[in-house]
């Protein structure tokens, strides 16, 4: 006699809640996952602001806490000893992010170092000052920050260009704010919106967006933003007088002497003639042009051998390598540098990059844990129900994180992990996704104040009191942030 067939109910058992084997499976359902997310972000802020824990350690700690709290098992988080081929969430988050970001940041950093040590920045600023004249010197300083800021980190740009600001301000006899604020606006815009800087590169990697599209949208939104910041600089610079700080002038001279001594120890002989301006502009522009050409070719051309060649040379890894090799030859070897000198300058430039890469990688871990635990999906559904556009939510989340804990990089990588599910599976174009990255980056620079290292760097380098720094630099960053986001939001309507 045949056994009676199973009923559908008996054949299909009800699905078990996800991650029931977690060590601390405290919550299930959307409400519980949202609670875990809120507590995780609050813990991150406490660890960075109050405990003063290093951001990499704080992000990693919070990632583990959120994963366990949301019900992930220890195996899912860390993998197993028995199976070395099993990739854990922490490994995939760290490796997946740094696999894209580390090469670009490393190449960009070395390129900036060669431009800095060779005197390219000084040549660029001096030529622009001579071209625009005394009356338009603030505009010349702004363009210097804008152009030189593309391959050089924000703090390095201040260190290299501050002596030129001092000289221009002393020659003009006006407030140093008229000269330093446009420069800072240019440096800040490129640092926030354009690769190869860590923020936009990390966001592009986390949201899987073509770097060429990020450059294009960064330029489209960044130029109007920096023009608005320059207008603010001209207005406030005429109303607040800040004298050139004599102690920083002397310190800058000492730093230049120390740099010359380091170059001498490394075997780098200062050349008799300055670097040609055309050479500096060509080296800075090469990777941008190649990457943008590759992006346009993928949109405009059908697959072909020509398109493959363009895309090969326009891949960020290849484009930046070409620019670096050009800098090695044109600014180094052809001007008397030895191979040992090039190696010494390049290696020294990579020392401060480790912290940036670890923070970016930890941000990737945080994003992977949010996705793997279901927290990201719960956040996505909740934000969708709020009714605000994705680009607005991205800006607001990044802005709140920035103001609360100060680090732009932490704000970007944390926000990217939160908003990534809002773009996954949607019908948004890649251009729109790039504009979301611009919005996240814009939020990450809003209202730089006392919890941001950049605030103190600006105040001390240019001799501005804390009160006046809040009235000038903090507002400048807010203008840059709001204007950049406004343009991104407006452009997103048509993309």
Are the C-beta atoms of residues 103 and 350 closer than 8 Å to each other?
A: no
Report which of 400, 425, 428 is spatially closest to residue 493, judged by C-alpha positions.
428
Q: Left (φ > 0), alpha (ψ -120 to 50) or beta: where does 25 sit?
A: beta
Distance of CA 306 to the CA centre of its chain: 32
Domain total for the chain?
2
% of the chain beyond a pLDDT of 70: 87
* 387 compared with 390, residue with greater pLDDT: 390
Instruction: Give the pTM.
Output: 0.81
Report pLDDT for 329. 94
Least confident among 34-48, 256-270, 481-495? 256-270
Are the C-beta atoms of residues 163 and 252 closer than 8 Å to each other?
A: yes
User: What confidence category does residue 394 fall into, taking pLDDT thresholds of 50, 70 and 90?
Assistant: very high
Task: Summarize pLDDT for 185-199 with one digit per residue, the tens.
Answer: 999 999 999 998 989
Residue 73 predicted with pLDDT over 90 = no
Question: Is residue 73 included in any domain, yes or no?
Answer: yes
Question: Is residue 1 included in any domain, yes or no?
Answer: no
Measure the CA–CA gap between 147 and 157, rounded to whole angstroms: 11
Report pLDDT for 20. 42
N-terminal to C-terminal alpha carbon distance within the chain: 67
Enclosing domain of residue 345:
99-203+210-349
Least confident among 9-23, 268-282, 329-343, 394-408? 9-23
Average pLDDT score over residue span 209-227? 96
Report pLDDT for 87. 67
Question: Is residue 18 included in any domain, yes or no?
Answer: no
Are the C-beta atoms of residues 49 and 405 closer than 8 Å to each other?
A: yes
Average pLDDT score over residue span 333-352? 84
Last residue within a domain, chosen from 296, 331, 349? 349
Q: Does 369 lie in the same domain as 340?
A: no
Residue 241 predicted with pLDDT over 80 = yes
Last residue within a domain, chosen from 330, 349, 368? 349
Measure the CA–CA gap between 214 and 191, rounded to whole angstroms: 13
Residue 82 predicted with pLDDT over 80 = no
Which residue is it, tokens 């990534």?
A: 420
Measure the CA–CA gap between 147 and 410, rounded to whole angstroms: 25
Report pLDDT for 344. 85
CB atoms within 10 A of CB 123: 17
Q: Does 256 lie in the same domain as 136?
A: yes
Report which of 105, 293, 271, 67 is spatially closest to residue 200, judged by C-alpha positions.
105
Q: Does 425 lie in the same domain as 323?
A: no
User: What confidence category does residue 80 fall into, taking pLDDT thresholds of 50, 70 and 90?
Assistant: low
Q: Does 36 lie in the same domain as 160?
A: no
Determine the angle formed by the axes of helices 177-193 and 137-148, rounding to 10 degrees. Answer: 20
How would you label 319-337 residue by residue, b for 16+ Cβ within 10 Å and e otherwise? bbbbbbebbbebbbeebeb
Angle at 294 between CA 288 and CA 295, to 5 degrees: 90
Last residue within a domain, chosen from 318, 334, 349? 349
Residue 180, SS3?
helix
Q: Does 412 lie in the same domain as 295?
A: no
User: What confidence category does residue 13 fall into, taking pLDDT thresholds of 50, 70 and 90?
Assistant: very low
Task: Summarize pLDDT for 279-305 with one digit per residue, the tens.
Answer: 999 999 999 899 999 988 887 888 889
Q: Does 371 lie in the same domain as 331?
A: no
Residue 324 predicted with pLDDT over 60 = yes
Question: Is residue 31 included in any domain, yes or no?
Answer: yes
Task: Summarize pLDDT for 440-493 with one digit per residue, the tens.
Answer: 999 999 999 878 888 988 988 898 998 999 999 999 999 999 999 999 999 999
Q: Does 341 lie in the same domain as 371?
A: no
Q: Does 329 lie in the same domain as 368?
A: no
* 34 compared with 283, residue with greater pLDDT: 283
Question: Is residue 389 included in any domain, yes or no?
Answer: yes
Measure the CA–CA gap between 204 and 318, rounded to whole angstroms: 17
Question: Is residue 15 included in any domain, yes or no?
Answer: no
CB atoms within 10 A of CB 282: 15
Cis check: omega of the bond before 196, within 30 degrees of 0:
yes
Angle at 346 between CA 342 and CA 350, to 5 degrees: 170
User: What confidence category does residue 252 fall into, taking pLDDT thresholds of 50, 70 and 90?
Assistant: low
**Chain mean pLDDT for the chain:** 84
Residue 217 predicted with pLDDT over 60 = yes
Q: Does 148 lie in the same domain as 74?
A: no
Q: Does 134 lie in the same domain as 283?
A: yes
Q: Left (φ > 0), alpha (ψ -120 to 50) or beta: where does 2 sit?
A: beta
Question: Is residue 37 included in any domain, yes or no?
Answer: yes
Q: Does 304 lie in the same domain as 437?
A: no
Question: Is residue 328 included in any domain, yes or no?
Answer: yes
Q: Does 455 lie in the same domain as 340?
A: no
């Amino acid at each position: 006699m045949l056994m009676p067939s199973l009923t559908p109910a008996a054949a299909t058992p009800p699905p078990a809640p996800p991650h029931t084997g977690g060590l601390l499976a405290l919550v299930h359902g959307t409400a519980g996952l949202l609670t875990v997310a809120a507590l995780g972000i609050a813990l991150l802020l406490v660890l960075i602001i109050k405990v003063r824990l290093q951001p990499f350690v704080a992000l990693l700690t919070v990632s583990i806490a959120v994963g366990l709290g949301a019900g992930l098992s220890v195996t899912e988080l860390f993998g197993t000893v028995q199976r070395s081929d099993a990739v854990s969430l922490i490994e995939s988050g760290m490796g997946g992010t740094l696999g894209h970001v580390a090469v670009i940041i490393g190449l960009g950093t070395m390129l900036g170092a060669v431009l800095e040590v060779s005197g390219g920045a000084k040549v660029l600023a001096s030529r622009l000052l001579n071209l625009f004249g005394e009356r338009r010197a603030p505009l010349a300083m702004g363009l210097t920050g804008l152009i030189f800021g593309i391959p050089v980190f924000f703090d390095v740009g201040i260190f290299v260009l501050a002596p030129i600001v001092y000289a221009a301000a002393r020659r003009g006899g006006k407030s140093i704010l008229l000269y330093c604020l446009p420069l800072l606006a240019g440096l800040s815009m490129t640092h926030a919106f354009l690769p190869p800087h860590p923020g936009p590169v990390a966001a592009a990697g986390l949201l899987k967006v073509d770097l060429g599209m990020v450059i294009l949208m960064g330029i489209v939104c960044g130029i109007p933003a920096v023009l608005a910041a320059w207008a603010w600089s001209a207005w406030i610079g005429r109303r607040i007088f800040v004298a050139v700080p004599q102690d920083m002038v002397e310190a800058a001279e000492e730093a230049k002497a120390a740099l010359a001594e380091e170059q001498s120890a490394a075997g780098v002989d200062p050349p008799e003639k300055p670097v040609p301006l055309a050479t500096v502009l060509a080296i800075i522009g090469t990777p941008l042009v190649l990457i943008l050409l590759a992006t346009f070719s993928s949109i405009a051309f059908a697959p072909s051998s020509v398109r493959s060649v363009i895309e090969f040379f326009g891949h960020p890894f290849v484009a930046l390598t070409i620019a670096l090799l050009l800098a090695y030859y044109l600014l180094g070897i052809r001007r008397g540098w030895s191979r040992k000198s090039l190696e010494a300058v390049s290696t020294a430039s990579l020392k401060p990059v480790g912290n940036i890469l670890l923070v970016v990688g930890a941000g990737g871990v945080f994003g992977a844990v949010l996705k793997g635990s279901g927290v990201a999906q719960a956040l996505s559904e909740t934000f969708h129900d709020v009714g605000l556009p994705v680009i607005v939510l991205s800006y607001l989340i990044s802005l709140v994180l920035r103001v609360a804990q100060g680090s732009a990089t932490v704000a970007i990588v944390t926000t990217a992990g939160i908003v990534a599910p809002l773009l996954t599976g949607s019908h948004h174009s890649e251009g729109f996704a790039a504009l979301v990255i611009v919005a996240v980056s814009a939020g990450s620079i809003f209202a730089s104040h006392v919890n941001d290292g950049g605030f103190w760097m600006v105040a001390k380098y240019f001799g501005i009191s804390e009160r006046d720094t809040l009235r000038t630099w903090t507002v400048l960053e807010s203008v840059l942030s709001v204007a950049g986001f406004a343009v991104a939001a407006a452009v997103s309507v048509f993309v």
